[in-house]
Amino acid sequence: MVSQSTAISRAAEIAKISRTFDFILLIPILLVIIGTYHLSMILTVGDWDFWLDWKDRQWWPIVTPLMGISFPAAIQYGLWKHLRLPIGATVCTVCLLLGMAITRWFAYHLWTNYPINLVLPATLIPGALLLDFVLLTSRSFFVTAILGGMLFAAVFYPANWAIFAPFHQPVEYNGSLMTLADVSGYSYIRPGVPEYLRIIERGVLRTYDTYATPLSAFCAAVLAVPLYALWSYIGKLFSTTRFIDKF
């Protein structure tokens, strides 16, 4: 009876150790995801996410989800394949938004005095929720690549529409028609990205008038499928547990 009690006490202790270990393990995981995914995004999406007046109908809905699917797909692979946790994409995008929101407020707004509206970050969370949902329900990376990858990119623009639509209202300024976002951009000079570097609304796609955005979203959705597959494979490569004997 005593040894049974000891065994129970030992089992409880092991459960406690295991849970404490999981909790402590979360801290480096989340911090490294914030630090690295955020850095990857600012150096690939960069100004399309930094500035309100870069969030156009053509490039922003393509560049952001296509670059943004990288870490979610790779982390999702590892967490699902080895730990059966269908939360990889959502965790990544929440970390990303947290990292971006902190910096936008404390760096752009409080240090260099840009209005927070000009530097609002976009969110990838709705697409990531769908990506995880498709994986959870289909239990297939193949289906997730096709359906989840497409949804991740396709919902990006509509999911952010409620946040940024007010700034796309037309306004006449000094005799020219532009958006409120453009006026905000012209009002706050940015020597690092002068106007001649603002890559928005370029190319013949704008001749499609109101179809420009759906076409961009659809294009992003199609391209997100192979990119999801590629990043899943990269996630697989980095999930290796190999050891080597020497360098």
Which one of residues 56, 60, 69, 70 is an interface residue with another protein (CB under 8 A)?
A: 70
| Cβ-based nearer residue to another protein, 171 or 197 | 197
| Angle at 77 (CA atoms; ends 71, 80), nearest 5 degrees | 125
Which one of residues 53, 57, 62, 82 is an interface residue with another protein (CB under 8 A)?
A: 82
How far does CA 225 lie from the centroid of its chain?
Answer: 16
Residue 230 lies near another protein (rule: CB under 8 A): no
Kindly state the tokens that stand for 163: 């946040």
Residue 47 lies near another protein (rule: CB under 8 A): yes
User: How buried is residue 74: exposed, middle or buried, by Cβ count under 10 Å (0-12/13-18/19+)?
Assistant: buried
Residues 15-44, interacting with another protein (CB under 8 A): 17-18, 20-21, 24-25, 27-32, 34-36, 38-40, 42-44
| Cβ-based nearer residue to another protein, 12 or 222 | 12
What DSSP string runs through 105-173? IIIIITTS---GGGGPPP--HHHHHHHHHHHHHH--HHHIIIIIHHHHHHTHHHHHHHHHGGGG-EEEE
Report the half-sphere exposure of 131 (CA within 13 A, side-chain side).
38
| Cβ-based nearer residue to another protein, 125 or 199 | 199
Selected range binding another protein among 99-107, 132-140, 178-186, 210-218, rule: CB under 8 A: 99-107
Which one of residues 58, 61, 72, 74 is an interface residue with another protein (CB under 8 A)?
A: 74
Kindly state the tokens that stand for 129: 């929720």
Residues 122-161, interacting with another protein (CB under 8 A): none
| Cβ-based nearer residue to another protein, 82 or 139 | 82
The type of residue at 224 is A
Residue 218 lies near another protein (rule: CB under 8 A): no
In this structure, the strands spanning 176-179 and 170-173 are antiparallel
Residue 69 lies near another protein (rule: CB under 8 A): no
Residue 80 lies near another protein (rule: CB under 8 A): no
Which one of residues 193, 223, 229, 230 is an interface residue with another protein (CB under 8 A)?
A: 193
Residues 104-123, interacting with another protein (CB under 8 A): 106-108, 110-114
Interatomic CA distance for residues 69 and 225, integer angstroms: 10
